[in-house]
């Protein structure tokens, strides 16, 4: 489904801030995989996501989605393959537009936009039903501006928008990190529900080791732009946080220094 082949990305090349964010990075996802991604700050998690999404061009390597080479495609052209939810709840939605308008924008992802109506009556009914899945009462507030919603509500809405047109790949970039624990759990629950319902191939970055273990069928850990751990199948099912910390120390030769990841 997704193939990253020897992808390299260097930020600020030739300066003192030069940073090798992805180092000859390769990763292959099978259809229906739900992969959780963990790693410390600066490990390359978000860089990997942005490389897939096409936020900027990579320096070397190849990116294929469902066999299609998207390496050279700009961000807006890759969008038709991808559903994305960002860490910052403000990023995924248009604050000055209504809930239904945001959904309608997402509904047209991958289609040529022309002078047809931006939203139709039939769609409104459809969105009303869809919003009920979230259980946040948003179905009664279709025309409310998204700027009036809380962070959790916005993330849930973004999740719905990302999956409205079934994406080939769902990218979740720490999408619960900015939320309080209760809201985060709720958004994660919704995520699990939607991913299972639509059998979506998913990449989810998280800071929370427990979440990384409970969700998905495969777990990868990144460090210095490389995959240092790759656990899947039966092994993943039996995994505990202690195992993971132990494996991390073995793989990296150092102690895991991120309290948030352990305690969170």
**Shortest spacing between CB 98 and another protein, in angstroms:** 10
67 belongs to the binding site for another protein (CB under 8 A) = no
Interface positions, 74-113, toward another protein (CB under 8 A): 74-77, 79-80, 82, 84, 86, 89-97, 101, 104-106, 108-111, 113
Choosing from 52, 58, 119, 194, the residue that interacts with another protein (CB under 8 A) is: 119
Hey, which residues does 232 pair with through a beta bridge? Answer: 218
239: contact with another protein by CB under 8 A: no
Q: How far is the CB of 29 from another protein (least distance, A)?
A: 19
Return the residues of window 199-228 that contact another protein according to CB under 8 A. none
Based on the shown chain and the rule CB under 8 A, indicate whether residue 61 belongs to the binding site for another protein. no
Write out the two tokens for 102.
């945001």
Residue 51 sits in the site that holds another protein (CB under 8 A) = no
Collapse the DSSP code of 164 into the 3-class scheme (helix H, G, I; strand E, B; otherwise coil) and give the result: helix
Nearest distance from residue 207's CB to another protein, in Å?
15
* Contact residues for 98 (Cβ-Cβ < 8 A; gap 6+): 142, 143, 144, 145, 146
Three-class SS of residue 125?
A: helix
Contact 31, 2 (CB under 8 A): no
User: Do residues 175 and 6 lie in contact, with contact meaning Cβ atoms separated by under 8 Å?
Assistant: no
Of 152 and 225, the one with the shorter C-beta distance to another protein is 152
Q: In Å, what is the CA distance from 71 to each residue of 29, 31, 104, 156, 236?
A: 16, 20, 28, 30, 31
Contact residue for another protein among 53, 159, 195, 203 (CB under 8 A): 53
Question: Binding of another protein at residue 180 (CB under 8 A)?
Answer: yes
Enclosing H/E stretch for 156: helix 151-164
Q: For the chain, what's the residue count?
A: 264
Task: For residue 114, give Cα distances in angstroms to 83, 87, 108, 118, 119.
Answer: 22, 31, 10, 9, 12
Q: Which of 161, 170, 204, 209 is the binder for another protein (CB under 8 A)?
A: 161
Give the nearer residue to another protein in terms of CB position, either 131 or 179: 179
Please identify, using beta-carbon distances, which residue of 55 and 263 lies nearer to another protein: 55
Cβ nearer to another protein, comparing 2 with 244: 2
**114 near another protein (CB under 8 A):** yes
Cα distance between residue 177 and residue 179, in whole Å: 6
Site residues (vs another protein, CB under 8 A)? 53, 74-77, 79-80, 82, 84, 86, 89-97, 101, 104-106, 108-111, 113-119, 149-153, 161, 178-180, 182-183, 186
């Amino acid at each position: 489904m997704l193939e990253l082949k020897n992808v390299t990305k260097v930020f600020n090349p030739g300066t003192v801030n030069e940073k090798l964010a992805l180092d000859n990075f390769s990763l292959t996802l099978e259809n229906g995989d739900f992969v959780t991604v963990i790693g410390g700050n600066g490990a390359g998690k978000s860089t990997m996501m942005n490389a897939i999404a096409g936020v900027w061009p990579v320096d070397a390597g190849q990116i294929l989605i469902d066999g299609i080479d998207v390496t050279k495609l700009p961000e807006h052209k890759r969008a038709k393959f991808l559903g994305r939810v960002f860490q910052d709840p403000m990023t995924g939605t248009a604050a000055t537009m209504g809930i239904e308008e945001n959904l309608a924008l997402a509904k047209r992802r991958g289609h040529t936009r022309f002078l047809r109506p931006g939203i139709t009556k039939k769609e409104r009914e459809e969105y009303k039903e869809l919003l009920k899945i979230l259980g946040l009462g948003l179905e009664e507030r279709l025309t409310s501006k998204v700027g009036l919603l809380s962070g959790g509500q916005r993330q849930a809405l973004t999740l719905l928008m990302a999956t409205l047109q079934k994406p080939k790949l769902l990218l979740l970039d720490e999408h619960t990190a900015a939320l309080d624990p209760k809201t985060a759990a709720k958004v994660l629950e919704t995520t699990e529900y939607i991913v299972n319902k639509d059998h979506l191939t998913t990449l989810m970055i998280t800071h929370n080791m427990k979440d990384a273990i409970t969700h998905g069928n495969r777990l990868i850990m990144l460090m210095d732009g490389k995959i240092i751990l790759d656990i899947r199948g039966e092994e993943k099912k039996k995994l505990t946080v202690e195992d993971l910390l132990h494996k991390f120390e073995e793989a990296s030769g150092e102690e895991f220094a991120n309290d948030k990841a352990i305690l969170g």
